[in-house]
Amino acid sequence: MAINTKDYSSTKHKGIKIHKDKIGFLLNIVIDGTRYRKTFTSNATHTPSDRLKTAYEAREAFHDDKLHANTITANTDATVDDYWQLVKDAKSWNEYRVKKYNYFYGKHLSSLATKKIRDIKPTHFTSLNTQMKHLSPRTRLEGYEILKPIFEMAVEDEIIEKSPIKKSHIPKRKQLEEKKIVTDAEAKYRKVHEGIMTLFGSEQKIYINDKMTIACHDNPHHRAAFLFGFHGRRLAETLSIKWQDIDFTNMTYKIRGESSKVNTDMVFTLPADVAEGLSHFRETKGMVFNVDSVDSHYWKIRAITDIPEFSFHWMRNLSVSALAGLGASITDLSAMLGHTDSSTIRKYLSLQRESSTERMGGLAQKLLNK
């Protein structure tokens, strides 16, 4: 039966149109200049957002199937780098994630790049983990987010029989251990904010311990980026923001679903200090931040604040610890960080049990002494 495209309208996802009955979808993909399309029927009992989510997943599967069908005569001498290019074409990764993975691939996985897929053995990943042992488990895991789909695709193309990546090779994150409570959070919260404003808001050189010199110039671009992190945004979220996502009239900004971990659009209040920084280089379209990495600034803020554990992601832990200590609710903290499930915050805040019970004990004593 012919598809009547007039019955479909656009959605927020490129390549996905929704039928007027709100249940059916039209999926479109383009591979090597050839367009393919198919219909998809979602579950009528699902919410509209869940229907769109399943349609998005169906389009990704459709894209992968067609791509693999087109490479059925795969080159048996293909290298890891050849398949890395195929994986990037197959995945519906946003621009920031592609840049991030390309950076990691070039910096940490170059030793595998020119090797033939069929020549890769499990021992290569044992060696790779040794080379990356100085990185955090979360960062090392990023390498396997790149490598796993490469070898999964090679298996499907029958270049190899099974992936050489074993479960033991993949780093295991202990998230509660990573989310350690920040001690003296309120003081550090103020120090970090002052450090960001000093580093990116001064035209003077900054001297640390009369020896270290940090050449700083007024830099509202990086000031705004780090302040987004200070107010709870992940680095990936921050670097994916477009000018059209910022509403200066209502002082709000949007994180798009494809750039967030929860796969749904989120709207937040635009903090005044961030808005001030943005006002110095404000545009109307395109990406707000055109940078690949901000790591080179970490040591500067660590030196200014005397907080050695500082990093972009650590600021999320700092915010939760400081604001919870001032009485912020779990609901508000979850909303600030963009979590859909407050249990994530509950697990994190359970780490504060000792300090919390100490405060509660003090309050109880005051009541008893009245």
pLDDT tens, position by position, 115-158 = 999 999 999 999 999 999 988 888 889 999 999 999 999 998 88
Q: What is the pLDDT of residue 365?
A: 56
What integer pLDDT is reported at residue 211 of this predicted model? 67
- Domain 80-173 architecture: Orthogonal Bundle (1.10)
Residue that has been written with the tokens 């100085």 in this structure: 134
CATH number of 185-361: 1.10.443.10
Backbone angles phi, psi at 330, to 5 degrees: -60, -40
Read off the tokens for 179.
């989310």
Total Cβ atoms within 10 A of residue 278:
24
* pLDDT digit string (tens) for the chain, length 370 residues: 678 889 999 998 889 999 999 999 999 998 877 889 999 999 999 988 899 999 999 998 888 777 766 654 567 789 999 999 999 888 877 777 888 899 899 999 999 999 999 999 999 999 999 999 988 888 889 999 999 999 999 998 888 989 999 999 998 865 544 455 678 889 999 999 999 999 998 777 777 766 677 766 778 999 999 999 999 998 989 998 999 999 999 999 999 887 777 677 888 999 999 999 999 999 988 999 988 778 889 999 999 999 999 999 999 888 888 888 787 777 777 788 887 665 666 555 554 544 554 554 555 556 555 5
Biggest distance spanned by C-alpha atoms of the chain: 83
What distance in Å separates the CA atoms of residue 127 and residue 142, rounded to the nearest whole number?
A: 16
What are the contacts of 7-11 at 24+ separation with CB within 8 A?
11/52, 11/55
Give the model's pLDDT for residue 353: 47
HEC per residue, 150-215: HHHHHHHCCCCCCCCCCHHHCCCCCHHHHCCCCCCHHHHHHHHHHHHHHHCCCCCEEEECCCEEEE
What span, in angstroms and rounded, lies between the C-alpha atoms of 306 and 302? 5
Stated pTM of the model: 0.57
